[in-house]
Structure 1
Amino acid sequence: MTLDRHPQPIALICLTIIALLLVSGCTNLQSTTPKESITLEDTPNWFSIPLIDLQTEEEIQIASLIAQGRPIIIHTFTTSCPACGAQFKESSDLQIKSPDTYIVIGLNIDPGEGGAAIRRYIERNQYQGHFVTSPTSFSIGLVETFGIRVMQSTPQTILICNGEIYLLGSGVFSSEGLARIIGDLC
């Protein structure tokens, strides 16, 4: 009796698909608890990196936004990401329901998307919040803080409040879910 040392083609295809899904982060489910929390003993360098709001052309910095005392929600995105659009609809709904309670930042991480395309994306969908393109130094700072996973799939959600940074992870968080998480943590 001889053993077949070549896996069946269908089994190999299935294993490849499962591996790709795991690597891409598409199997991550929304969690109501943060995956990671970092206490802000030392202020990360990326807090002081200037970001340009693509709608108003104003310069903002995370450090100055923290000084306002409101929770800051950062969503990484690209304009070609359907889940990112769904997340911005939820975050816009959160801001409409509770004006001046939260600061939401859309952080575009695709260096190939220009400001004009991102502005059209925001205007066409009537999203609320600040939208910026991540400078390389800001992206490097996020990777230093959370590891490369923060840039590997979109949307990633980061929450900053009460001297803590929380990586909520990938997936779409409903407006109610975000409000509940922020209520629990902030």
Structure 2
Amino acid sequence: MTIRPTRRAFLRLAGVGGVGIAGCLGGGQTDSGGMAGDQPADDTGGNDADTGANGDWYTTELTDVRSGETFTIEGLTDRPVLVETFAVWCSNCLSQQKEMINFHEAVGDDVVTVALDIDPNEDAEKVREHAERHGFDWRYALSPASVTKSLTDEFGSSMASAPTVPMLRVCPDGTTTRIKNGFKSTDYLREQVDEC
């Protein structure tokens, strides 16, 4: 019998104390674009200052669950990259990922999207099935605990709270910005990548 940690235990192991997983079935958006009741006190969820200091999340080799190819975020930065953390069970994440179809239709191959599954109870097959069922054709990978911890250390604990719909913008020069929590429209995302 395999014993898997609970989401709360995983977050503690990843060094993310006090993060709730409320709102996993939807929750409402706040006027500022964040998810009501889901944002930890230590996260602004807004446009943080750009940073060039990229940790393990940037250089760790990941495996695309759809193709089996390995990649690093750093290796994709010949164009802007959007990095989202999510979980298959998260309906807020699903809404954002459905919007990403519209976004990619608008920008074509000019932007790369990487979806990192942060739930240790989900495996590659579950994530691959999720992407295929919904017609999501960008990169999907499991986020190792070290990568999740690196993301939360650098960008705040809500990077490990899927219902807040966390996302980063990585520009070709390596400059990385945490963009707002909550649902992000195609127009908003285009503005963000145009700033690279």
TM class by smaller structure: 0.7 to 0.9
* Contact in 1 for aligned 2:46/2:181 (Cα 8 Å): no
Q: Which amino acid aligns with 1:166?
A: T
Q: After superposition, what is the alpha-carbon deviation per residue over 1:42-72, rounded to whole angstroms, capped at 9, x for unaligned?
A: 4423211011000001001011111x2x111
CA apart distance, 1:93: 1.5
Comparing both structures, which one devotes a greater share of its residues to helix? 1
Mapped partners of 2:149, 2:50: distance in 1: 17
Partner residue in 2 for 1:166: 177
Partner residue in 2 for 1:176: 187
CA apart distance, 1:90: 1.2
Q: Which amino acid aligns with 1:160?
A: V
CA apart distance, 1:177: 1.5
Q: Which amino acid aligns with 2:193?
A: I
> 2:54 matched to 1:46?
no
Q: Which amino acid aligns with 1:38?
A: D
Q: After superposition, what is the alpha-carbon deviation per residue over 1:18-47, rounded to whole angstroms, capped at 9, x for unaligned?
A: xx78xxx8554327x94212321x442321
Mapped partners of 1:43, 1:36: distance in 2: 14
> 2:143 matched to 1:134?
yes
Partner residue in 2 for 1:59: 70
TM-score by length of 2: 0.74
Q: Which amino acid aligns with 2:188?
A: G
Q: Percent of aligned positions with the same letter in both sequences?
A: 24
Partner residue in 2 for 1:87: 96
* Contact in 1 for aligned 2:64/2:141 (Cα 8 Å): yes
Q: Aligned pair count?
A: 160
CA apart distance, 1:120: 1.0
Q: 3-state DSSP class of the match of 1:54? A: coil
Mapped partners of 2:54, 2:87: distance in 1: 27
Q: After superposition, what is the alpha-carbon deviation per residue over 1:137-179, rounded to whole angstroms, capped at 9, x for unaligned?
A: 1111111211222213432011111432111132111112111
Q: Which has the larger radius of gyration?
A: 1
Partner residue in 2 for 1:117: 126
> 2:33 matched to 1:30?
yes
Structure 2: gaps spanning 5 or more residues: 1-21, 35-44
Q: 3-state DSSP class of the match of 1:100? A: helix
Structure 1 residue runs of 4 or more that deviate by more than 6 Å after TM superposition: none
